[in-house]
Structure 1
Amino acid sequence: MKIGELAKTTAIPAETIRYYEKIGLLPEPDRDNSGYRSYRNAHLDRLLFIKRCRNLDMAQDEIRELIRLAEQPEADCSEVDALLARHLNHVRERLKELASLEETLEQLQEACTDGRTVRECGILGGLSTELETPESEDRHNHVPGTHGPGQN
C-alpha cells in the first residue's frame, strides 16, 4: 500500500510516518518501479503498535526499546515489565505535579473578584509574583512523550 492509504488506515499523518522511518522506529519500505514507497502489513502492524505506545505517552526511546524486546519473543519479559514500571512511576509523578498545578490555578482564580480592572486583577498579580520568584525545585519536561526511560 502507498503512504496515503497507510496514513488513512492508521489515522497517522504521512509526514509522521516518514519521520518514524527517518528515526528508525519504522523500517523503510520497498520502493515500486516509479519510486513510491510500498508498505506491507508488517509496516501497518508496527505503526499501530507505535500509535498505541504514543497513546500511552511513551517516549520514542521507550518505544524503540519495546520494539527491540518484541523482536526477541523467547526472551524473559522482565525487561518489558521494568520499562513499564518506570513509565508508570513517571506517570504517577506527573499526576502529583498536575494536582499541584490544579491547586495553584484554583488559588489564582480565587484571587479574582468582580468589579476590578485589569490593573487590579488578582490573577495577573499572582502570576507576576510567581514569575519573579524562581522555583527552587527542578521541574521535568511535561510535553507529552518527551521523557526518557528511567526518568521519574
Structure 2
Amino acid sequence: MSYRIAEVADLVGVPATTLRYYEDIGLVDQPARGSNGYRSYDDADLARLRFITATKNLGIPLADVAELVQAYDVEDCSTVAHHVVEMVALRLAETQTRIGDLVALAAQLQTVSARLDAAPASGPCGDGCPCTTAAPEPLADRRTFVPLTRAPAVAVPDVPLIACSLDAGAVPDRISDWQALVARAVKREPIADGVALKFVASPELVVEVARLAAAEQDCCTFFTFTLTMTTGHVRLEVEAPGEAADVVAAMFGTAA
C-alpha cells in the first residue's frame, strides 16, 4: 500500500516537516516519488518511521536513533530490542540523576525563600541582608520538606503528602546508592501498590538493603518497605500511594 506524506504524518503522529527533516539529515532515505512528483511511502517506510518516532519519544538523541535505525534495517528484532534497552537504561540513569538534582535544588530554593521571608520589613539592604547573600546558610535543622508530586489545591484528609525531608546535600548520594542497589536486582515483579525486587542473597546485600530502606522511610514516610529473606534470595517490596507511582518508577524501576 502506498501513502502520501500527509497520511504518513497522521499515522506516525509527527508533522510532515519532521518527516522532511529526517530525510534532510539522512535519518531515513528519501521515499520514492510517484509520476506526479509527490513522495510515496510504503508499509516498510511507515513501520520504520513508527520505530523512529517511538524511540525518539523515549528521549533518545537523534544520533543514537540513527544507530538504532541501522540495526533495525539489518538485524533481528531481539537484537534491536537489546540495543533499545541499553539506551533506555542510560536515559533512565540520567533521569534519576536529574530527579536527585532537582530535589536538591528545590530544597535550596525553599531555604532561600525562608530566609527572604525573614528579611526586615524596613531599612536599606546591606551586608548580612538575606537578599544580598549569594550562598545562604541552611535552615537550622537542615531538613526541608520538598513535595515530589503536584500537591492538590486543597488538602485532602487521610491522603499522605508525597514529599521528602532529606537534607538537600545528601540527595545525590542517596539516589546513587539506590541506583547501585537496584542494578543488582535479578528480577522485578509488579505488586499491588509498587514493585518487588529480587536479589541473590549475601550478608553484605542484606545489610545494604535494610540500611537504605530504613533511611528512605525516615525521610519519605509515604514509602512502605518489606524485606523477606529466603534460601539464596532477598526480596524487597516497595509500596507507595498511587500518587507516588512516578516516584517509585524513577527510583526503583518498573516491573518487566
TM interval, shorter chain, is: 0.5 to 0.7
Instruction: Find the counterpart in structure 2 of residue 52 from structure 1.
Output: 54
- 1:15 matched to 2:17? The reply is yes
Query: 2:190 — aligned with what?
Result: none
**How many residues get paired?**
126
Q: Which 5+ residue runs of structure 1 have no aligned equivalent? A: 131-152
Q: Secondary structure of the equivalent of 2:104?
A: helix
Which structure has greater helix proportion?
1
Q: Deviations over 1:34-86 (max 9, x none)?
A: 21111111111111000110122112222222222223336993x86366435
The equivalent residue for 2:93 is 92
Q: Against the structure 1 CA distance between its residues 125 and 27, is the aligned structure 2 distance closer, same or farther, given a 3 Å change threshold?
A: farther
Alpha-carbon distance between aligned partners in 2 of 1:49 and 1:24, rounded to the nearest angstrom? 16
Q: Which residue in the other structure is 1:71 paired with?
A: 73
Instruction: Give CA deviations for 1:104-135 in whole Å, capped at 9, x if unaligned.
Output: 12321332245869x98x6x767x659xxxxx
Relative distance call for 1:125 and 1:103 in structure 2 (3 A) is farther
2:74 match: secondary structure? coil
* RMSD (CA atoms): 3.3
From the superposition, tell whether residues 7 and 98 of structure 1 become closer, same or farther in structure 2 (CA, over 3 Å).
same
TM-score relative to the length of structure 1: 0.64
- The residue identity in structure 1 corresponding to 2:15 is P
Residue identity (%): 29
Q: TM-score by structure 2 length?
A: 0.41
Q: Report the structure, 1 or 2, having the larger strand content.
A: 2
Which one has more relative contact order, counting CA pairs under 8 Å at least 6 apart? 1
Aligned in 2, Cα 1:32/1:74: closer, same or farther, shift over 3 Å? closer
> Structure 2: where are the runs of 5+ without partners?
137-256
